[in-house]
Structure 1
Amino acid sequence: MTISLAQLRRCSAAIDIGAARTRVYVKNQGLVVDEPTVAAINTRSGALLAVGAQAEVMDGRTPDYIRVVRPVSNGTVVDIDMAQRLLRTLVGDKLRKTWRRRPTMRAAVCLPYGSEPLAQRAAVETLTGLGARRVELVDTLVAAAVGCGLPVEQPEATMIVVCGAGTTQVAVLSLGSIVAAETVPVGGNAIDHAVIQHLRLHHELMLAGQAVRPLQLILSGGDGVTPGSTEVHGRDVISGMARSVHVDTERVRDAITTPLTSILDGIGAVLRRCPPDLVADLGERGIVLAGGSALIPGLEPMIHQATNMPVHTADHPDTCAVMGLGAMIEGKVQPLHLDPMDP
C-alpha cells in the first residue's frame, strides 16, 4: 500500500469506506460526508430510494419490495456497483462537478491491514467509477494513528487498536511503518450479537440490532452512574407480542466479555512479536483506542488490567482514520528523513 507522502499530497480527497459508516474528507474543505454505509433500493425497479441515515432507519421496517443493503463488509467492498451509487449520492452534485473539471483527480482510501488484492482492486474500481484517475491505498492503522496525533514518524513505539464494526486491528508503529500487526475478526457487530443472544436466551426477548446501541450507552455509564438494571423493549420469542423486561447490567457485561477476550489475544500476539525496546516504550506511552467501537463498555479497563499499560481513548475515535488521511493529503505530516550514509 501507499507509504509515500509525496503521492498522497497530490490527492484531493480522502475516503474511509467502513462497514458501518462512510466518511469523505476533501482537501481545503475538511470532512464533508459522515453517513452510515447503508442504501435502500426498490427490488422491482432497481431504483435507489435512500442512502445513509435515511436508509439505516428503514432497516427492518420495509415491505418486501424494498431491500436495505450494506455494500461494505469488514472494511471490504463486496458490492462495487452499489458502493458507487451510494458514494455518488452522498458526495453530491456540486462536489462531483468539481472533480469532473479536474481530469487528474486523485483519491486516497483507507483499507484494513493485510487486505487481499481482490479487496484492494474492489476499492480502486469503486473510486475510479466516480471519476478518480488514480487511487492511493493507505493502511487504516497508519491513518488512524496520525489522526490520533501519535508521533508515528519518530523512532518510538506507538500502539493503536482500531475497533471497527466487523474487525479489530492492532498494531505497533515506529518510523512511520508497521512493526507488528494483527487483525481480529471481532468488532462492534460481534458485541451487538452477544447482547442480542443474551436477551434471547435469558429473557426470551428478540431485539433488533439497532436497539442494542442505546443499551450499550447505558452500560458505559456516560452520566457517571451505571444503573443496576435497564428496561429493554422487544418482541417475545414465544408469543410474538411486544414486551418489556428489566435487564441486569452486570450480566450484560459478562455476556460481552467473551468476544472482548479475542481482542486481548490479538494485543498479546502483537506484543510478543515486538522487540523488547519497543515494548518498553509502550509501558510508558500506553495504548490508544480508535475506531467507532472504541467506546464499547468495559473494553478500556479490560485492556488495562490484562496488559498493565496505560490505555487511552482518542478524543474522536470514530473519525481518526479519515482525519489522519486528510492530514496526509493536506501535507501536515512531515516524515523523518533518513539519508543513506556513504561508505
Structure 2
Amino acid sequence: MTVNLDQLRRCHFGVDLGAARTRVYVRGAGLIVDEPSAAAVNARSGSLIAVGELAERMTGRTPDYIQVVRPIAGGTVVDIEMAHRMLRQLLGDKVRRTLRRNLRLRAAACAPHGADPLAQRAITETLVGLGARRVELVDTLIAAAIGCGLPVERPEATMIMVCGAATTQVAVLSLGSIVAAQRVPVGGEAVDNAIVQHLRHEHHLMLPGQSVRPLQVALSDNGITTQGPAQTEIHGRDVLTGLPRSVHVDTAAVRDAIETPLTAVLDGIGKVLRDCPPDLVADLADRGIMMVGGSALLPGFDQMLRQATGMPVHIADRPDICAAQGLGAMLEGRIEPMVLNPLAA
C-alpha cells in the first residue's frame, strides 16, 4: 500500500473506519464525523433506527426485534451494505449533496497494515456506495504517524503503536515508509473481555456492557501498575440470583487478569525491534514509542510499556483521532515528501 500524495491531494474526503469509532474528514471542512461504529436495525422490517452515539447507547437495552450491529470489526468492513447505510446517515443529507456536486468524487480511507485484498476491496466498495469514483487507501500506521506530528519523511527512525479496539499495530518508519511492522490481534476489547471474565468467574458478577471503561478509569492514572489503588467498588448483576450487587475488587487481581493480552502487545514490539536494522533501533533509544489510538488512554499502559522496554513512551495529544487528522493533512496538501533526486553520472 504505497502512499501517493499527488493522488491524495485530489481526494475530497477521507474516512477512518475503526472497529470502535468511524471518523470522516472533509477537505476544507475538517473532521465532521466522530461517532461509534454502531447501527440499530429493526430485525422485522430491516429499517435503520439509529446510528452512532444513539445506537451505542441502545446496546443491551433494546427489545428483541431491535438489534445493534457493528459492521466493522478489527478495522475491516464485515458488512458492506450496513457500513454504507451507517456512513450515509452519519454524513447527513446536506454533506452528501455537497460531496456529490463533484462529478469525479474521490475518497481516501485508512486500511490496517497488512490488510488482504478482500479487506481492501470491502473498504473500497463501502466508499464507492457513497458515490466515490476513485478510492485511495492509506496505511493506518502512516496516517496516524503523520497525524501525531512524527517526522516520518526524514531518514531517521520513528516508532508508532496504534492501539485500536480489536488490534494493535506497531511499526518503525523511516523516509516515509514502513521498515518493520507487526499487527497483533489484541486491543482494547481484549482487555475489556479479560476484566469481564475475571469478575464473572471470581466474583460471580456480570457487568453492564458499557461499564468496563469506567472500571478502567477507576483504576486511576496508574491503573494497571502497582502504584494504583488497592481496591475499587464495582456495581453489576449477580450471576446466580440476577439481583443488583456491588463488590470490592482487588485491583492487583485485575492487573493479573489483563496481563495476558498486554503481554501479546509486548511480544509484538519485541518482534518489530528484532526485524529493524541496528542503526534505526539506536535512534529509538532516545525517541522511544509514540502511542496513538483510543486504547492508548488505558490508565497506566504507557508506564507498563516504559518499564518493560526501557524506552521512552509518549501518548499523542489526541490519540483517538490521529489517523483521521493525518489523513486530513494529506488531503489538504500539508505534507511534503523528502525529494530524492538521482545523482548525475
The corresponding residue for 1:265 is: 267
Alpha-carbon separation, structure 1, partners of 2:43 and 2:99: 31
Alpha-carbon separation, structure 1, partners of 2:329 and 2:222: 30
Residue 74 of structure 1 and its aligned partner are, at CA, apart by 0.3
1:49-198 matched pairs, under 5 angstroms: 49-198=49-198
Alpha-carbon separation, structure 1, partners of 2:248 and 2:221: 17
Residue 266 of structure 1 and its aligned partner are, at CA, apart by 0.1
The corresponding residue for 2:333 is: 331
Establish whether residue 210 from structure 1 lines up as the match of residue 221 from structure 2.
no
Residue 109 of structure 1 and its aligned partner are, at CA, apart by 0.2
Q: What is the CA deviation profile of residues 188-219 of structure 1, one whole-angstrom value per residue up to 9, with x for unaligned ones?
A: 00000000011011111011332100011111
Establish whether residue 43 from structure 1 lines up as the match of residue 20 from structure 2.
no
Letter of the structure 1 residue corresponding to residue 93 of structure 2: D
5+ long unaligned stretches in structure 2: none
Runs of 4+ in structure 1 deviating by more than 2 angstroms, as ranges, are 220-223, 225-228
Residue 269 of structure 1 and its aligned partner are, at CA, apart by 0.1
- What count of residue pairs does the alignment treat as equivalent? 342
Alpha-carbon separation, structure 2, partners of 1:341 and 1:299: 46
Note if contact 1:161-1:168 (Cα within 8 Å) is conserved in structure 2: yes
Establish whether residue 10 from structure 1 lines up as the match of residue 10 from structure 2.
yes
1:160-309 matched pairs, under 5 angstroms: 160-221=160-221, 226-309=228-311
Note if contact 2:222-2:300 (Cα within 8 Å) is conserved in structure 1: no
Q: What is the CA deviation profile of residues 119-147 of structure 1, one whole-angstrom value per residue up to 9, with x for unaligned ones?
A: 00000000000001110000000000001
Secondary structure, counterpart of 2:295 in structure 1: coil
Letter of the structure 1 residue corresponding to residue 117 of structure 2: P
Secondary structure, counterpart of 2:194 in structure 1: helix
Residue 301 of structure 1 and its aligned partner are, at CA, apart by 1.5
Residue 221 of structure 1 and its aligned partner are, at CA, apart by 2.8
Alpha-carbon separation, structure 2, partners of 1:220 and 1:312: 18
CA RMSD of aligned residues (A): 1.3
Alpha-carbon separation, structure 2, partners of 1:81 and 1:146: 31
TM-score by structure 1 length?
0.97
Residue 226 of structure 1 and its aligned partner are, at CA, apart by 4.4
Alpha-carbon separation, structure 2, partners of 1:53 and 1:222: 29
Residue 297 of structure 1 and its aligned partner are, at CA, apart by 2.6
**Further displaced range: 45-54 or 245-254:** 245-254
Note if contact 1:253-1:298 (Cα within 8 Å) is conserved in structure 2: no
Percent of aligned pairs with the same amino acid? 68
Alpha-carbon separation, structure 2, partners of 1:27 and 1:241: 51
Secondary structure, counterpart of 2:155 in structure 1: coil
Note if contact 2:59-2:209 (Cα within 8 Å) is conserved in structure 1: no
Secondary structure, counterpart of 2:297 in structure 1: coil
Alpha-carbon separation, structure 1, partners of 2:166 and 2:324: 18
